[in-house]
Structure 1
C-alpha cells in the first residue's frame, strides 16, 4: 500500500530573514520528521504571492492532506489567510483553522470587535492616530494591528497617556498599522487548545513570569523577550504552569472563555489564547492565535509536553481534525 502524501505549506523565507521569520523552517522540519511515523510521505511547498503557481503545484502533488503552517506572505501577517482561502476554494483538506478564522484573528482590532459583540472581555482599544486623546494617568500599549510573534512590539510601545505624542513622533510612518490598547496591570496567562473528538481539549494554563524586572520596566512578552536570546528580557521571562487544583476558579474561567472563543471564531485543530487580568482580577483576552508556533520551547508545544503528549500524538490529532471536517 503506497504511503499517503502530506504537503507542508509554509511561507517563503528569504536568506537574510530575522529569527522570528526563520522559525517557520524549524516548524517545517519538526512536522517533516514526524509525518513518516503517521504513515505519510511529505512534500515541502513554500508559498508567496504567486497563488496561481501555488495552486498549480498543489494540484500536481494531489496530497491526501496539507499541513498548513503559513504565518505570513512576503512577511505580511495580514495575508496569511490567503493559502487557506485557495485551499478551501479548491476543496483541499488542510490542518488548522479555516480562512475566515485566520482572517478574523489576524486583524487584532477586528477580533476585538468580534469579542465585544459576543460578550468576551478584552482591553479597550483605539485606532492609532496623532489626534487621539488619551487619559494622561493611564498606561497604554501600541501594537501592530496585523502581526504575530510580537513583531513591532517592544517596551517602547508601552507608555502613559501623556507620553503618547512622543510615541507618535517616533513611529509616525508606522502609526497607521498600529492600534492603541489599554495596558492591564494584572497577571498574564496563555492557554493552548488541541482538537479532540467532539470538542477541543484545554491544555494546562501557563503563566508568564517577569523575574527581577526593575521598577517601571514594562512586563510584556515583546519581540526582545521572544527572540533575542542574549537579552535581559529573554532570560528573565519565564513560563510556569498553573496546576488546576491550585487556582480552580481562575482555571475554570479561562477554560470557559477559551471554549467560547473556539466556537465564535470557528477555530479548528489547535490554537493559543493570551490573557491578562484587569485590576478587578477579570480575565481579558489579549489575542487569539489560530496558528501558534509549534516548535519546542514555544507556548503551544510546551503546553502539550506539560499535558504528557508527544508531538506525534499532537500532529495525529491535528490531522485527524482536518480529515473530519
Structure 2
C-alpha cells in the first residue's frame, strides 16, 4: 500500500490566507483515503530540520507538500522542499528550483522575458524615474503570494506625488513596480498527466459595476474577506473565451510553454491580464496553488469533469 505523508505548515494566525492550508490538508487526506492510500498528516514548525527528519522515520512512499510558509514567512516557502530534496525524500508539486523562481516575482519575470513569454514591463523601486508619465503602475511585493500586499493604494501615475513618495519609501528588496494592465483577468490551472500537462478550462474574474471607478484588481480583500464588497463584486466564470477561440488557444499555448520553461510539475496556475486589444500579459506563475475545496484550481478541475481523487493521484504520479 502506498503511504503518503501530508506535510503542511503550522498555522500561526487566524488570517484566512493562512488558515486555508488546513482546508487543503483535509481535502488531500480525504482523497488519499478514498484512493486506499495510507495517509499521515505532519505539521512543520520552528524546528524545521527535526520535523523533516521525522519524516524519514515514517518510511513513507512520498510526501504531499502543502507547506506555504516557514516561520510565518511566505517568502521562505521553499525551505521545506529544499530539505526534502537534500534528504532525497520524494515530494509532490513543483521542484525546488521552480518553486524558488516562481515565488520571486521579479526573477520569474526575467525568466519569462528570456523565454519570450509575455509579461508587463517592470522596474525596481529605485528606478521610478524611468516610468512613463502616460502609463499607470502598481507596486507589488516580490515574494508574497495569495494577493498579500496587493492593494489599490499602490496603483499610481508618477503625477500623483503623494503616492509616489509613499512608493519610494518601500523596500527595494521586497517590492517592485510593474506596469498596470487595465483589462480582463484570466486564471488558467494546469495539471500533470502522463509526464505532460493538461491545461484545465480557463476561468475569468468578472468585475462588477462596483469597479467602474476603481482599479480592477483581485487584492487581498477580494480574495479572502467574504464580507468585503471587493469579494462580493468579483466572480469567477468559465466559458467566457468560447466566443474568441483564437485568444483561448494563445493562452493555452502560453501555459504549455510556461510549464516547460519553468520546469513545473504536479500542478500550477498562471494568472493573466488581457488588454482591450487582446494583448496577453502574464501577471504571475503560481507553483503549488491553493487546492482547498473552494479554490479556483478545484473549480477548474470540476469544470473539466474531474474529481479530487483524480487530481491527487495525478499530482502524486508526477512527484519529484
Out of 144, 148, 151, the position equivalent to 1:147 is 144
Out of 106, 130, 136, the position equivalent to 1:109 is 106
Query: What pairs up with 1:274-285 in 2 under 5 angstroms?
Result: 274-285=271-282
Quote the offset at 1:246 in angstroms: 2.6
Aligned mates of 1:170, 1:124 — CA distance in 2: 17
Specify the alignment match of 2:38 in structure 1: 41
Please say if 1:319 is aligned against 2:316: yes
Specify the alignment match of 1:236 in structure 2: 233
Quote the offset at 1:313 in angstroms: 1.2
Specify the alignment match of 1:183 in structure 2: 180
Specify the alignment match of 2:8 in structure 1: 10
Quote the offset at 1:297 in angstroms: 2.1
Quote the offset at 1:278 in angstroms: 3.3
Aligned mates of 1:6, 1:164 — CA distance in 2: 54
Structure 1 SS opposite 2:178? strand
Report the more deviating stretch, 138-147 or 122-131: 122-131
Specify the alignment match of 2:222 in structure 1: 225
Specify the alignment match of 1:263 in structure 2: 260
Q: TM-score of the superposition, structure 2-length normalised?
A: 0.94
Query: What pairs up with 1:237-256 in 2 under 5 angstroms?
Result: 237-242=234-239, 245-256=242-253
Unaligned runs of 5+ in 1: none
Q: Deviations over 1:280-304 (max 9, x none)?
A: 3211111000110001221111100
Report the more deviating stretch, 156-165 or 68-77: 156-165
Q: Deviations over 1:152-205 (max 9, x none)?
A: 112212122222652543783556411110001221101000001141000001
Aligned mates of 1:167, 1:11 — CA distance in 2: 37
Specify the alignment match of 2:160 in structure 1: 163
Quote the offset at 1:81 in angstroms: 1.1
Q: TM-score of the superposition, structure 1-length normalised?
A: 0.93
Specify the alignment match of 2:77 in structure 1: 80
Q: Residue 152 of structure 2 contacts residue 215 of structure 2 at CA under 8 Å; is this kept in 1?
A: yes
Q: Deviations over 1:63-87 (max 9, x none)?
A: 1111101111123222111111111
Please say if 1:201 is aligned against 2:198: yes
Aligned mates of 2:110, 2:305 — CA distance in 1: 36
Q: Residue 204 of structure 1 contacts residue 243 of structure 1 at CA under 8 Å; is this kept in 2?
A: no
Structure 2 SS opposite 1:8? strand
Structure 2 SS opposite 1:189? strand
Report the more deviating stretch, 79-88 or 40-49: 40-49
Q: Residue 130 of structure 1 contacts residue 165 of structure 1 at CA under 8 Å; is this kept in 2?
A: no
Structure 1 SS opposite 2:210? coil
Please say if 1:291 is aligned against 2:276: no
Distance change (3 Å), C-alpha of 1:224 and 1:175: farther
Query: What pairs up with 1:123-138 in 2 under 5 angstroms?
Result: 123-129=120-126, 132-138=129-135
Q: Residue 202 of structure 2 contacts residue 238 of structure 2 at CA under 8 Å; is this kept in 1?
A: yes
Distance change (3 Å), C-alpha of 1:211 and 1:243: closer
Distance change (3 Å), C-alpha of 1:131 and 1:224: same
Q: What is the aligned length?
A: 320
Q: Residue 65 of structure 1 contacts residue 93 of structure 1 at CA under 8 Å; is this kept in 2?
A: yes
